[in-house]
A and B are shown apart, each in its own frame.
Chain A
Amino acid sequence: MPLAVRQIEPEAAVAPEEDWRQIASALTGYVRKRTQRHDVVEDIVQETVLRLMDYRGKGQLVSVYALAFRIAGNLVIDRFRTERRYAAEAVEEPMSPTALPDRVLAGRQELASLMQALQAMPPLRREVIIRRRLHGQSCATIARELDLNPKAVEKHITRGLVDLNKARMRSEPMERHQS
Chain B
Amino acid sequence: MSADPRIAEEAALWADRMNRPAIDSALASEFDAWMNADARHREAFAELQALWDSEVLTLALREMQDAPLPVVAPKPPPRPRKPARQTVWRLATLAASIAAALVILPQFSQQTYRTGPGEERHVQLRDGTRINLSGNSRLRVTLSLWSRSASLTQGEAYFDVRHEERRTFRVQSGDASIRVLGTAFNVDHQAPDRTAIEVYRGAVEVGGSDGGRQVLKTGAAANVLAGRISLRPGPTQDRPEWETGWFDADNIPLGVLIDKIRRYATQPIVTTDPSLLSLRVSGRFHISDVDRALAAIEAAYGVKVVRDHNQIALELR
Contacts and interface: CB of A to CB of B under 8 A. Distances in A.
Interface of A: 1-10, 19, 22, 25-27, 29-30, 33-34, 62-66, 69, 73-74, 76-77, 84, 87-89, 91, 94-97, 102, 104-105, 107, 110-111, 114-115, 118-119, 123-124, 126-127, 129-130, 132-140, 145-147, 154, 157-159, 161-162, 164-166, 168-169
Interface string B77-97: 000000000000000000010
Given A7-B107, A65-B31, A19 B57 contact: no
Q: Lowest 10 A-B CB distances belong to which pairs?
A: A33-B50, A63-B28, A29-B46, A123-B73, A114-B60, A2-B111, A26-B42, A161-B12, A5-B110, A30-B46
A56 to B, nearest CB: 12
B310 A95 contact: yes
14 contacts: A1-B49, A9-B25, A25-B39, A29-B46, A63-B18, A63-B23, A65-B32, A65-B35, A87-B311, A89-B270, A91-B313, A94-B268, A115-B63, A159-B9
A118 B31 CA distance: 28
B124 A2 contact: no
Given A2-B112, A115-B64, A127-B73, 11 more contacts: A25-B42, A29-B46, A62-B28, A76-B53, A77-B114, A123-B69, A123-B74, A124-B74, A135-B123, A159-B9, A165-B48
A146 B76 CA distance: 6
A95 to B, nearest CB: 6
A158 B13 contact: yes
Chain A facing B: main interface SS:
helix
A87 B46 CA distance: 29
A10 B269 CA distance: 47
Contacts of A168: 51, 54, 57
A2 B19 contact: yes
Contacts of A127: 73
B310 A133 contact: no
Nearest to A74: B112
A76 B211 CA distance: 37
B171 interface: no
A6 to B, nearest CB: 4
Interface string B20-42: 11110100110110011001001
A87 B270 contact: yes
Contacts of A2: 19-21, 110-112
Contacts of A158: 9, 12-13, 16
B45 interface: yes
B65 A134 contact: yes
Nearest to B114: A77
A139 B19 CA distance: 11
B240 interface: no
Contact of B72 (A3, A9, A123): A123
A90 to B, nearest CB: 9
Contacts of A3: 18-23, 109, 111
B246 interface: no
A110 B196 CA distance: 38
Contacts of B274: 89
Nearest to A113: B60
A110 B268 contact: no
Contacts of B1: 165-166, 169
Task: Determine which residue in B19, B29, B57 has the highest number of CB atoms from chain A within 10 A of its CB, and name it.
Answer: B57
A139 B22 CA distance: 13
Contacts of A25: 39, 42
Given A66-B28, A123-B71, A133-B57, A26 B65 contact: no
B23 A4 contact: yes
B42 A4 contact: no
B116 interface: yes
